[in-house]
């Protein structure tokens, strides 16, 4: 029996997972490669990018690039103990900007997740509720984040709350919509099977709908994290004291071009790390998906 | 463990539950020009405590029949009753195993089975021994920590059987449970199913499109007509058990039943073709007349 089953595993497993993942019949043997990110290749990518930057700005001095901060200039400023424009790895101010932005992201992203996931689950679960709420939701969703700026300033006294609010708004719509789609993507026969077994609506919601929607929820959270940074920086540029968006904007106003680049690089790094964190949590919660394709044990 | 033993003992002494009656049932899907009558004036009885196998041409309404019995759909006319009382909705004593896999991918094999117990309101102290017992019965005790996606098709079907059996439903409705398995695995699953059934007898409605599978398994074979579904032919399969593909191959009675069943099935399957021809012919006649 087991021999036959083992034989069927290849063909059948591949068919079952083909829609979500490419078939990976030999992953067990190749695991060391898959498990570690492709570091050498990504380093080549980074090197090529930095080289292009260096050549375009400082070596060839291409017409439109000449005024941009150069790689060497930025690197020297960034690692200087006594930076020309006051912000480097060795100044407290630098970390204060990062910390302030991070705090806002954590507040906005958490609020968006805590409100968006339950709302999305409800929207997907109850047709009645969806009929009431979804049209309003869909009307508000396309409003660009910058259009919310006046309202948020009127609504909240003080720049801090309104910056967090703007960041929250963008993330909230993404998370809610993806969660709702996640619920709707659950195979109806799975829900029927649970009903057949005698599960109460509560049990179905908790044990079938919520975990079944998890893959979509985490796709949503990753996008939502990206959108959070995007709108945070926009909001910080409009109103705010401190934060990486504020740093970039003031550096521009004061013609401190290397500091702009430092702010951008830092944003990239922190954004990358925060998305990676969301992915990591997702992978932890969805061990069943990884095991399904044979990665990890 | 004693709970399990008790439950099994009561299985064998109690009178068989799970008689299902369909009385002049009609079912139409869609409306207006898209309306499709899948069942019309269909009456049949599912005998309690037996293996009732339903076979019919593809698209004739077999899954619809099971959905009506399970209570996921309601008939437009007529009545479906279980042990005399009308079927109003799904209930855990009529358990359906779906044509497509319906395991919970995010739960391990053990959790899938345990969920069935929790859904039935079992106390948490009963869950572990009952789940262990049922997984042993289907030979999957060693795989209890695996996720469905890690199992072969045959093993997945066995998990579904385990999950279906664990609450000891009076009626089990199986919709082409072995479809999509390769021939070898399918043969093994059939033998396996028969052994499992011998130890856990109950009312079963088993839908299939394979005549060999039907004769191997059935106590009673119900052949449905082409759509709209009605009982076309009903035969008691009084062949001795245990049956295997090999013994049936040499059994004259089995071959007679098979030949006759194939004739009936062929005739019914052809109706959908002939129906299509007739429709086309009549349309052509209409267009010719209008010219
Ligand atoms: N929910 C539905 N809506 C519309 N048509 C349906 C629906 N379910 C089944 N049908 C139609 O009813 C017929 C019988 O379906 P089904 O019971 O699934 O057949 P079988 O299981 O015998 O292959 C098919 O022609 C199918 O297209
Ligand atoms: Mg069917």
Is residue B174 within 8 Å of B204, Cβ to Cβ?
A: yes
Compute the average pLDDT of residues B41-70.
94
Res. B285: pLDDT tops 80: no
The residue whose CA is least distant from atom 25 of ligand 1 is B59
Compute the average pLDDT of residues B198-226.
94
| Nearest-atom index, ligand 1, CA of B56 | 22
Is residue A218 within 8 Å of B134, Cβ to Cβ?
A: no
Mean pLDDT of chain B: 88
Is residue B42 within 8 Å of B78, Cβ to Cβ?
A: yes
Res. A273: pLDDT tops 70: yes
- Are A292 and B92 inside 8 Å of each other by CB? no
Is residue A168 within 8 Å of A244, Cβ to Cβ?
A: no
Q: pLDDT tens for residues A159-177?
A: 899 999 999 999 999 999 9
Q: Which of A281, A207, A291 is nearest to B147 (CA)?
A: A291
The SS3 assignment for A114 reads helix
CA distance B41 to B224: 13
Write the class of the CATH domain A67-292. mainly alpha
CA distance A284 to A214: 12
Q: Confidence class of residue A40 from pLDDT cuts 50, 70 and 90?
A: confident
- Are A189 and B70 inside 8 Å of each other by CB? no
- Please work out whether the CB of residue B60 comes within 6 Å of at least one atom of ligand 1: yes
pLDDT > 90 fraction of chain B, expressed in percent and rounded: 66
Number of separate domains in chain B: 1
Compute the average pLDDT of residues B123-143.
91
Res. B86: pLDDT tops 70: yes
Compute the average pLDDT of residues A138-157.
92
Please give the angle made by the CA atoms of A147, A153 and A158, to the nearest 5 degrees: 150
CA distance A199 to B7: 21
Q: pLDDT tens for residues B155-204?
A: 999 999 999 989 889 999 999 999 988 998 899 899 989 988 998 899 99
Q: How many CB atoms lie within 10 A of CB A167?
A: 29
CA distance B144 to B107: 10
The residue whose CA is least distant from atom 4 of ligand 1 is B29
Res. B71: pLDDT tops 50: yes
Residue B117 lies inside a defined structural domain of this protein: no
- Are B188 and A1 inside 8 Å of each other by CB? yes
Q: What is the pTM of this model?
A: 0.79
DSSP code, position A58: I
CA distance A28 to A25: 8
Residue B140 lies inside a defined structural domain of this protein: no
CA distance B28 to A165: 52
Mean pLDDT of chain A: 86
Domain that residue B236 falls in = 18-93+213-289
Q: Confidence class of residue B257 from pLDDT cuts 50, 70 and 90?
A: very high
Domain ranges of chain A: 67-292
| Nearest-atom index, ligand 1, CA of B207 | 21
ipTM above 0.85, yes or no: no
Res. B263: pLDDT tops 60: yes
Residue B202 lies inside a defined structural domain of this protein: no
Residue B234 lies inside a defined structural domain of this protein: yes
Sign of CA dihedral B261, B219, B192, A12: positive
Looking at residue A17, what is its pLDDT? 35
Is residue B151 within 8 Å of A9, Cβ to Cβ?
A: yes
Looking at residue B180, what is its pLDDT? 86
Q: Which of B94, B166, B153 is nearest to B127 (CA)?
A: B166
Residue B73 lies inside a defined structural domain of this protein: yes
The residue whose CA is least distant from atom 27 of ligand 1 is B59
Looking at residue A39, what is its pLDDT? 73
The shortest C-alpha distance from A186 to chain B (Å) reads 10
Q: Confidence class of residue B280 from pLDDT cuts 50, 70 and 90?
A: low
Segment among A27-41, A195-209, B214-228 with least mean pLDDT: A27-41
Distance B77 CA to ligand 2 centre (A): 21
Q: What is the CATH number of the domain that holds B282?
A: 3.40.50.300
Distance B210 CA to ligand 2 centre (A): 13
Residue B178 lies inside a defined structural domain of this protein: no
Res. B10: pLDDT tops 80: no
Is residue A162 within 8 Å of A155, Cβ to Cβ?
A: yes
Higher pLDDT, A224 or B13: A224
């Amino acid at each position: 029996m087991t021999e036959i089953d083992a034989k069927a595993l290849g063909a059948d497993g591949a068919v079952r997972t083909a829609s979500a993942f490419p078939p990976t019949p030999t992953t067990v043997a190749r695991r060391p490669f898959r498990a570690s990110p492709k570091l050498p290749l990504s380093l080549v990518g980074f090197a090529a990018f930095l080289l292009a930057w260096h050549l375009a700005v400082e070596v060839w001095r291409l017409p439109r690039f000449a005024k941009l901060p150069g790689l060497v200039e930025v690197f020297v400023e960034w690692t200087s103990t006594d930076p020309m424009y006051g912000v480097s790895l060795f100044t407290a101010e630098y970390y204060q900007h990062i910390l302030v932005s991070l705090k806002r992201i954590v507040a906005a992203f958490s609020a968006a997740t805590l409100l968006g996931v339950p709302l999305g689950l409800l929207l997907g679960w109850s047709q009645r509720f969806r009929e009431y709420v979804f049209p309003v939701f869909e009307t508000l969703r396309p409003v660009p984040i910058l259009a919310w700026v006046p309202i948020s300033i009127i609504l909240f006294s003080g720049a801090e709350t309104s910056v967090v609010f703007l960041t929250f708004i963008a993330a909230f719509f993404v998370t809610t919509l993806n969660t709702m789609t996640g619920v709707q993507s659950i195979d109806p026969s799975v829900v029927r099977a649970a009903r057949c077994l005698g599960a109460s609506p509560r049990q179905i919601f908790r044990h079938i709908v919520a975990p079944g929607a998890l893959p979509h929820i985490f796709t949503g959270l990753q996008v939502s994290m990206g959108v959070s940074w995007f709108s945070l920086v926009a909001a910080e540029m409009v109103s705010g004291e401190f934060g990486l968006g504020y740093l970039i904007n003031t550096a521009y106003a004061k013609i401190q071009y290397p500091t702009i680049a430092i702010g951008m690089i830092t944003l990239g790094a922190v954004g990358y790390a925060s998305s990676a964190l969301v992915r990591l949590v997702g992978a932890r919660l969805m061990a069943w998906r990884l095991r399904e394709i044979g990665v990890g044990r | 463990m004693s709970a399990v033993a008790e439950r099994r003992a009561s299985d064998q002494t109690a009178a068989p539950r799970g008689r299902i009656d369909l009385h002049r049932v009609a079912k139409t899907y869609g409306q207006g020009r898209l309306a499709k009558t899948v069942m019309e004036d269909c009456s049949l009885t599912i005998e309690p405590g037996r293996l009732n196998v339903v076979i019919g041409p593809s698209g004739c309404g077999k899954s619809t029949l099971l959905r009506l019995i399970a209570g996921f759909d309601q008939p437009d006319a007529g009545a479906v009753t279980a042990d005399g009382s009308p079927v109003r909705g799904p209930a855990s004593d009529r358990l359906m195993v779906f044509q497509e896999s319906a395991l919970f991918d995010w739960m391990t094999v053990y959790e899938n089975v345990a969920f069935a117990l929790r859904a039935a309101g079992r106390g948490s102290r009963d869950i572990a021994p009952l789940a262990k017992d049922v997984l042993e019965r289907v030979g999957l005790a060693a795989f209890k920590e695996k996720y469905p996606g890690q199992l072969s098709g045959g093993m997945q079907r066995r998990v579904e059987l385990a999950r279906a059996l664990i609450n000891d439903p009076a009626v089990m409705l199986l919709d082409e449970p072995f479809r999509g398995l390769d021939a070898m695995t399918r043969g093994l699953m059939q033998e396996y199913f028969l052994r499992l059934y011998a130890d856990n007898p109950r009312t079963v409605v088993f839908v299939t499109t394979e005549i060999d599978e039907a004769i191997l398994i059935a106590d009673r074979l119900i052949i449905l007509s082409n759509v709209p579904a009605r009982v076309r032919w009903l035969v008691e399969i009084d062949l001795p058990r245990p049956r295997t593909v090999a013994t049936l191959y040499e059994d004259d009675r089995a071959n007679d039943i098979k030949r006759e069943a194939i004739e009936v099935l062929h005739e019914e399957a052809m109706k959908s073709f002939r129906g299509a021809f007739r429709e086309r012919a009549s349309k052509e006649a209409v267009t010719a007349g209008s010219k």
